Amino acid sequence: MKDAQPRTIYLKDYQEPDYWIDQTDLTFRLGEDYTDVTAVLQVRLNKNKQHEHLPNLVLDGTDMQLLSVSIDNQPLDSSLYSLTTENLSLPVNAEQFTATINTRIKPQENTSLEGLYRSNDMFCTQCEAEGFRKITYYLDRPDVMAKFSTTIIADPKKYPVMLSNGNLIADENLDDGLRKVKWEDPFKKPCYLFALVAGDLACVDDEFITHSGRKVALKLFTEATNVDKCEHALLSLKRAMKWDEEVYGREYDLDIFMIVAVDHFNMGAMENKGLNIFNSSCVLAKPETATDGTYQRIEAIVAHEYFHNWSGNRVTCRDWFQLSLKEGFTVFRDAEFSADMNSRPVKRIEDANFLRTMQFPEDAGPTSHPVRPASYIEISNFYTLTVYEKGAEVVRMIHNIVGKEGFRKGSDLYFSRHDGQAVTTEDFVKAMEEANDVDLALFRRWYTQSGTPVVHVSDNYDAANKRYTLTVKQNCPPTPGQAEKVPFHIPFAVGLIDALGNDMPLDEQGNTTLVLDVKEAEQTFTFNNISEQPLPSLARDFSAPVKVEYPYTRDQLMFLMSHDNDGFNRWDAGQKLAVDIIKELVEQQRAGMTLALDERLVTAYKSLLTGSSLDKAMLTKMLALPSEDYVAEECDVIYPLSIHVARDFVRRTLAVKLHKQFKTCFDANNTQKAYQPTAEDIAERSLKNICLSYLTLADEQGIELSWQQYQQANNMTDRFSALSILENAVSVKARDYAEQALASFYQQWQRDAQMIEQWLSVQAGGEYTDLEKIQQLMQHNAFDMKNPNKVRALIGVFANRNKVHFHRDDGAGYAFLADQVLVLNRLNPQMASRLLTPITRWRRYDEMRGALMKEQLQRIMKEKDLSKDVYEIVSKSLK
Ligand code: 0A1
Ligand code: ZN
């Protein structure tokens, strides 16, 4: 909890530590009421720094009871050290010494889920970013890297499985009935990668033979009831291990790799060395309980955590400002892995769509920050879409600038040069630069400037000289702390399309896509020998995280929808057309006019459904209208209810006018195969289910079809699609079916945590779930305020997706959210500050809603014991 004014930490103040820790030997005595921890630290003066005399050793630590301290085995009287709520400061009289620290902690009472805590009946840890300081007093910063050993002493009946990082080197039964195991990690690491797990867990075993022929034992630990949900994660892991060998030349480095599934976890998963800990919902799956989306998410997250073994663990971050060094790079790596395992263009569309819908608003809001932030109050608030997803786009741009082989040369140099070190984003860029002999001087601005650049493009065709010019102007709106910006280096991929829809050759080699190096505020690019007036295809494959403005007409967008050879831009043309039309309808709705849909959208959809040669995955993407969030992002002022009404009107009109086409497509793809999570089958199911959602909007027959699918489905993807379609359908019959379905779903799956999360979230986002219903569900056995997955499923989904009820006119939705934030502020500050996000964007909404949101932020601000997490977000939002 905060003192008067929480302190801001600045990158410019970075200094090396006064001391290093070379070896850390931990002993945990796990008990039912408390746990005692002994830390034996081999400490050495940092001689890189100038010291007039030996400074005190100032260790980080919170929420612990200090039992005793000794230096070189001499107990230190409490009068000799000083202790605050955040630090333990020890006097030092030698350049090297051993510090032994005994602390007592209470994992049973730890609801923050940082440090050592309980989840159901097991013990587990989460140390990134600063959780280790809740376990023992330590130099809790990533540039302090030590070799660790972990001894665990516990009751073997309650905790038959006792795990930590590295290799098991001792296992003995003690006289008092307890068991003692010792783990040793041969690689030095910062303490944020430390992990411990103890519990009554089942294990599913597998193995992987590395490139050089070493056998690695793979072990997935979970509660016994879930052993039938482990296969997909293990398969994904083996694929990821192989891919990293082939694509990056990275081999795994221990003889054992373990994954543990836990039900209480703030994030998706954590890459602790040799012992990854996963949120159960991001690792467990079987066809009866997991949707295709879950299967793909698990594949990506398992790979992401595994890839961290090199990008994050072997080469780690110097300080937390460098977070994107490991996260941006690793997200880029996992995205490429997923693209190779599934459909590349579809993965690109999903990622770009996610970035534009979710990260662009962050970049334009009160918590906007650069990929490498310059300051923070609470680092947990910086595990953001900017650091992760925009960071990955920045790495992708480097990849595109230096090319595939150049990127591999750069990553080889980076890994070999910095193996075992804690480094900076600057070191990464330098390695890329030096391996390729390119100049990334201007490019570095992507790490330091926040905000989303806007690229305005205009063109001119000179028929007499067969010359076409593109004029590109960039600007970036001001963001907090950065009023003025300098131009970015934007790799801008461009194609030109002729009247028949063919790509025109753009240079002597006949290339049809050229990457323009946009580096100035305004630049003109000339293309010669252009035989006719072309239509430009801009920022192909989403070549940079920017907004592109070009005055396409609706007819031109329809042309691009069927002709652009770039998959991403073909899809984006459809999005642009739909956004334009929905925005027009929003205006009509606000003016009280009768809504009228531009027929061209119907025509465009009709030709998608009947005449296109697109594969099924791509067709599904093209048939999905832009989300309400994306439309909102494209509006100057957000009127959430008008957007909802307008988009809904478009869906219904398309459903009625293209009923026959949707039905034909549904029937053709309703093949009832045995379930397999292959890319091809996933695409087929997604196409079928999007057709079903339109059919259900059209008439009662569609509702019957959904009900039938709900009852007969042989997999969760189809069953859950039908359920959420019914849950959002308006007719009396549909409401009745939805109720029956929800009741039977709960009956059948009430003991399955992941299913209950689904059950909560489908209701929370439901068009007919009002605030009162949410409050009722909070009282239901299925809900638990101490479980982040449940909080996200119910409260998070309500605030982010249930536009109609969350944004109701009287502001009760916002007050409800603020109430929950205040409760979570005490239980779990990380969850509290994340949950706040929707109301932090109050300036983007209509005046009435903006004022109501602001009022709630002010109410939160008045709370006495505000955590640093919540304080930082609320105070920045009100600035
Ligand atoms: N490094 C993890 C993300 C993570 C961060 C913080 C956590 O606890 C508060 C947990 C996980 C990743 O990128 O997967
Ligand atoms: Zn990560």
431 lies in a domain?
yes
Task: Answer whether 301 contacts ligand 1 (Cβ < 6 A).
Answer: no
681 lies in a domain?
no
Residues 18 and 157 in one domain: yes
Range of the domain at 498: 310-546
Report residue 1's pLDDT band, with 50, 70 and 90 as the boundaries. Answer: very low
Task: Answer whether 113 contacts ligand 1 (Cβ < 6 A).
Answer: no
Å from CA of 135 to ligand 1 middle? 17
Å from CA of 853 to ligand 1 middle? 29
Q: Nearest-CA neighbor of 111 among 252, 260, 264?
A: 264
Task: Answer whether 389 contacts ligand 1 (Cβ < 6 A).
Answer: no
CA distance 249 to 228: 33
- The token pair at 9 is 């930490």
ipTM over 0.95: yes
CATH of residue 105? 2.60.40.1730
Q: Are strands 467-475 and 454-462 parallel, antiparallel or unpaired?
A: antiparallel
790-795's contacts with Cβ under 8 Å and 24+ in sequence apart are 790/756, 790/757, 790/760, 791/820, 791/824, 791/831, 791/835, 792/757, 792/761, 793/757, 793/758, 793/760, 793/761, 793/764, 794/760, 794/761, 794/763, 794/764, 795/764, 795/820, 795/835
Task: Answer whether 128 contacts ligand 1 (Cβ < 6 A).
Answer: yes
Tell me the pLDDT tens digit for each residue of 726-765.
999 999 999 999 999 999 999 999 999 999 999 999 999 9
Q: Of the residues 200, 234, 269, which one is the last residue of a structural domain?
A: 200
Q: Of the residues 148, 181, 200, which one is the last residue of a structural domain?
A: 200
- Output the pLDDT for position 3: 47
Tell me the pLDDT tens digit for each residue of 256-268.
999 999 999 999 9
Q: Of the residues 200, 231, 257, which one is the last residue of a structural domain?
A: 200
Residues 514 and 371 in one domain: yes
- Inter-residue contact 764 to 798 (CB < 8 Å): yes
Residue 840, judged by CB atoms within 10 A of its CB (0-12, 13-18, 19+), counts as buried
**CA distances (Å), 307 to each of 304, 316, 344, 427, 491, in order?**
5, 12, 19, 19, 27
Residue 4 has pLDDT above 90, yes or no: no
477 lies in a domain?
yes
- The token pair at 322 is 């460098």
Which residue has its alpha carbon closest to ligand 1 atom 3?
270
How much is the mean pLDDT over the chain? 98
Mean pLDDT of 568-586: 98
Mean pLDDT of 791-809: 98
Residue 611 has pLDDT above 90, yes or no: no
429 lies in a domain?
yes
Å from CA of 305 to ligand 2 middle? 6
Residues 186 and 331 in one domain: no
Q: Would you call 305 a catalytic residue per the annotation? A: yes
Residues 361 and 493 in one domain: yes
Residues 51 and 171 in one domain: yes
Å from CA of 306 to ligand 1 middle? 13
Which residue has its alpha carbon closest to ligand 1 atom 4?
270
Return the best residue to mutate from 128, 272, 327 for the ligand 1 pocket (most ligand atoms within 8 A of CB).
Answer: 128
526 lies in a domain?
yes
Task: Answer whether 270 contacts ligand 1 (Cβ < 6 A).
Answer: yes
Q: Which range is least confidently modeled, 393-397, 487-491, 671-675?
A: 671-675
Which residue has its alpha carbon closest to ligand 1 atom 8?
128
Å from CA of 269 to ligand 2 middle? 8
Residue 612 has pLDDT above 80, yes or no: no
Tell me the pLDDT tens digit for each residue of 498-519.
999 999 999 999 999 999 999 9
Return the best residue to mutate from 110, 116, 266, 267 for the ligand 1 pocket (most ligand atoms within 8 A of CB).
Answer: 267
Task: Answer whether 546 contacts ligand 1 (Cβ < 6 A).
Answer: no
CA atoms within 13 A on the CB side of 789: 21
Triad 274, 271, 345: Cα angle to 5° = 120
Catalytic, out of 305, 336, 757, 872: 305
CATH of residue 342? 1.10.390.10
Q: Which helix (H) or strand (E) holds 186?
A: strand 179-189
**CA distances (Å), 495 to each of 356, 518, 641, 673, in order?**
22, 15, 38, 40
Residues 178 and 317 in one domain: no
754 lies in a domain?
no
Å from CA of 9 to ligand 2 middle? 22
Report residue 72's pLDDT band, with 50, 70 and 90 as the boundaries. Answer: very high
Residue 2 has pLDDT above 70, yes or no: no
68 lies in a domain?
yes
Q: Which ligand is nearest to the CA of 265?
A: 1
- Inter-residue contact 741 to 759 (CB < 8 Å): no
712 lies in a domain?
no
* Total tally of structural domains belonging to the chain: 2
- Inter-residue contact 426 to 510 (CB < 8 Å): no
Residues 380 and 518 in one domain: yes
Residues 196 and 318 in one domain: no
CA distance 855 to 322: 35
